[in-house]
């Protein structure tokens, strides 16, 4: 992970005496109350899952240490909030302090974690040996193990929906899934997943597969499987650009699906950066006088990068120039570095939790398909990454008509007038839901916005069979001029519905998919003959 770069505020900066006195007074009162309760034997474990074990409650000194740590962390946060800084600079300071505070938790060290100490005594030292073995294995891998990776093999345990690879080039394979119903909708669906991750997040296991659910509803589904570029690959993949991904990736896949289905227009879905790629590619097609897509679905997608959430702490000119010098002419942005950056956006859940359980307590990680996928990252071509970082995150050029040119062709997201289904997740820290909602101001067709509970991944992968979570939606599809400009105004009129948003989407998509016809007996066609069974070989390549 590259730390947020050079400060954007003059030094020195300081907290005003009045605010500092108030913070000190609150800290002193909290400290006195804690010591009094500890002396009386009434000090309860704090409401923090790191300190809820019986070993903390039964060890007075450890309990005081936990409370002292939380009091100190709160005071540091209050001081950050009180420093007179521009909000962007404050966010960076807040992020840096958060990393330090989370790292210094007494739960993270064997000498100050009574649970780990008790586990070591009860096991006769075996937990410590197991933890050290796990630590050594992770040092060799260069990353923290979050799940039992031996339990999963892509194509055997994950990505199981049957199908065939029917087209491929240096950047992607195109999978056509076999029908699971006697009849299918006439118009097929192309799914464009993020190239920063592997597509099988949408096809984990049958019980939680978005792909299988769509196929079971009678949709003919095609999936882009992005190549995971490696050092020394043929085809100069490490020099691939944003333009290459739009044209050789998205638009070539769109054309192949049209050829196979014999449909003038298809439906298309983009997830995360896959949605950004998809919308950009369709705007490029529009600029060329082409209109290949009848409806557009965007899941947790940024088109307007005004608010990029916590990722904004990494976005500045210095970082952009550094990456351009390193990777702008070729090379790979490694999956390991990308994964580390995303993990430290939520260090308590995605870093220190595993340090404690795996290394201090010697517990073997549990098998969890989503965490296996999370560890199975992809490299990105340097020119692609640097273009995306500057033009999207830093300069936010995609939202402005004509500010981005592909092969001298200016693109305009406002030219997209097909019906759109736009989804955001309420607790998403990567694509804040209000930023996902901002796409409603750029697109020009009738649209439906849906807000799901939970985060960037768990909100999307929420199968109806589990009966979990909920989603918010207003009634019907709304013409573009009638969409509220204020996302909070939209939310005030939305209705909460229990369970998964998937049935809402499939009902909407069916209205744009034409009549049903007999399911095809073969996949592909004479021009796009099956190459190999799904999930294909591109997705099985693991980053080193």
pLDDT-derived band at 14, boundaries 50, 70, 90: confident
Over the stretch 351-375, which tens digit does the pLDDT of each residue have? 999 999 999 999 999 999 999 999 9
Residue 319: per-residue pLDDT: 93
> Is the previous residue joined to 12 through a cis bond, with omega within 30 degrees of 0?
yes
Residue 507: per-residue pLDDT: 97
Tell me how crowded residue 212 is: count the other CB atoms within 10 A of its CB.
22
Over the stretch 317-333, which tens digit does the pLDDT of each residue have? 999 999 999 999 999 99
**Each residue of 454-481: b (16+ CB within 10 Å) or e?**
bbbbbbbbbbeeeeebbbbbbeebbebe
User: Above 70 in pLDDT, residue 339?
Assistant: yes
**Domain 163-331+379-540 belongs in CATH node 3.40.50.1820:** yes
Domain boundaries, the chain: 17-121, 123-152+335-371, 163-331+379-540
User: Above 90 in pLDDT, residue 2?
Assistant: no
pLDDT-derived band at 48, boundaries 50, 70, 90: very high
How does DSSP assign 255-293, residue by residue?
HHHHHHHT-S-EEEEEETHHHHHHHHHHHHHHHTT---E
- Tell me whether residue 195 is one of the annotated catalytic residues: no
Give the pairing type, strands 266-271 and 293-299.
parallel
Q: For residue 202, what are the contacts with CB-CB under 8 A and spacing of at least 6?
A: 191, 193, 209, 210, 211, 223, 271, 461
CB 279 within 8 A of CB 416: yes
pLDDT-derived band at 176, boundaries 50, 70, 90: very high
- For 330, the token pair is 């070729």
């Amino acid at each position: 992970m590259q730390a947020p770069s050079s400060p954007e505020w003059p030094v020195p900066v300081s907290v005003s005496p009045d605010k500092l006195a108030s913070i000190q007074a609150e800290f002193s009162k909290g400290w006195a109350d804690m010591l009094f309760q500890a002396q009386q034997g009434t000090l309860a474990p704090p409401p923090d899952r790191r300190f809820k074990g019986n070993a903390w409650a039964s060890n007075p000194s450890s309990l005081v240490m936990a409370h002292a740590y939380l009091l100190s962390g709160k005071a540091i946060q209050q001081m950050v909030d009180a420093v007179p800084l521009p909000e962007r600079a404050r966010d960076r300071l807040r992020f840096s302090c958060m990393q330090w505070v989370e790292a210094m938790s007494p739960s993270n060290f064997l000498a100050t974690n009574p649970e780990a100490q008790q586990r070591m005594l009860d096991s006769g030292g075996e937990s410590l040996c197991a933890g050290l073995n796990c630590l050594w294995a992770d040092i060799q891998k260069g990353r923290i193990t979050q799940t039992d990776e031996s339990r999963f093999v892509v194509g055997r345990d994950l990505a199981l929906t049957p199908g065939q690879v029917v087209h491929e080039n240096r950047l992607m394979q195109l999978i056509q899934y076999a029908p699971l119903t006697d009849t299918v909708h006439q118009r097929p669906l192309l799914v464009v997943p993020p190239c920063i991750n592997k597509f099988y997040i949408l096809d984990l296991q049958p019980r939680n597969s978005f792909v299988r659910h769509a196929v079971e509803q009678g949709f003919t589904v095609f999936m882009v499987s992005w190549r995971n570029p490696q050092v020394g690959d043929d085809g100069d993949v490490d020099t691939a650009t944003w333009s290459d991904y739009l044209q050789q990736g998205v638009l070539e896949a769109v054309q192949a699906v049209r050829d196979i289905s014999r449909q003038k227009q298809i439906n298309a879905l983009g997830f995360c950066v896959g949605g950004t790629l998809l919308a950009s590619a369709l705007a490029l097609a529009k600029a060329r006088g082409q209109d290949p897509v009848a409806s557009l679905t965007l899941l947790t997608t940024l088109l307007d990068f005004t608010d990029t959430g916590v990722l904004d702490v990494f976005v500045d000119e210095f970082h952009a120039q550094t990456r351009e010098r390193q990777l702008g002419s070729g090379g790979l942005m490694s999956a390991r570095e990308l994964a580390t950056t995303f993990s430290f956006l939520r260090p308590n859940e995605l870093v220190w939790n595993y340090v404690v359980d795996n290394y201090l307590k010697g517990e073997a990680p549990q098998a969890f398909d989503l965490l296996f996928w999370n560890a199975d990252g992809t490299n990105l071509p340097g020119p692609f990454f640097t273009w995306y970082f500057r033009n999207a995150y830093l300069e936010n050029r995609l939202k402005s008509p004509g500010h981005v040119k592909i092969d001298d062709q200016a693109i305009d997201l406002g030219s997209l007038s097909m019906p759109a289904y736009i989804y955001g997740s309420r607790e998403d820290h990567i694509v804040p839901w209000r930023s996902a909602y901002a796409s409603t101001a750029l697109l020009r067709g009738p649209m439906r916005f849906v807000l799901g509970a939970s985060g960037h991944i768990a909100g999307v992968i929420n199968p109806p069979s589990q009966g979990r979570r909920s989603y918010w939606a207003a009634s019907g599809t709304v013409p573009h001029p009638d969409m509220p400009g204020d996302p909070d105004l939209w939310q005030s009129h939305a209705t909460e519905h229990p369970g998964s948003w998937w049935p809402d989407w499939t009902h909407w998509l069916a209205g744009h998919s034409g009549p049903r016809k007999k399911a095809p007996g073969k996949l592909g066609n004479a021009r796009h003959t099956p190459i190999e069974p799904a999930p294909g070989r591109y997705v099985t390549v693991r980053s080193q």
